[in-house]
Amino acid sequence: MKKLHKIGLIALSYVALGFLIILIIRNFDEATWFLLGGAVSMFNYGQLLTSSKSLNKTKMVTNVFIRYIMILIILVFAYFKTQGEILVMILVLLGLIASKVGVIIGHLIFKDDKEVTHEQSTTSQ
């Protein structure tokens, strides 16, 4: 399994565990806001993986703008739906950083002993 997919599974585990913890501590309504943020984060991570496969810079930049617009829409929706309740906004933001948490934990777990630069990989072939 590729390292990128392992990072996605770590982020998905973060979302599932966070959802269960918030569901136990608080209530279902607040846990769904965390889940919504996590779902957007995981969708954006999937878009990042698919857009980075092609070297088309226009497509990559367009996907970056689409991801940020999606995040903005979710934040605005959460703000107006809950009249700016700060706990809900924090939970949505904690859900939105799911892919970042997956990347950090993934790099700590799957850390390579020696890093290969682009120049080293081309000269060894």
Domain ranges of the chain: 3-109
Contact of 28 with 9, CB cutoff 8 Å? no
Query: How far is Cα 115 from Cα 49, in angstroms, rounded to an integer?
Result: 21
pLDDT reported for residue 118: 46
pLDDT reported for residue 124: 53
pLDDT reported for residue 15: 92
Distances in Å between the alpha carbon of 106 and those of 10, 35, 45, 48?
A: 7, 21, 14, 16
Query: How far is Cα 45 from Cα 7, in angstroms, rounded to an integer?
Result: 10
* 10-residue averages of pLDDT along the chain (125 residues): 79 92 91 92 86 81 89 91 88 90 86 56 51
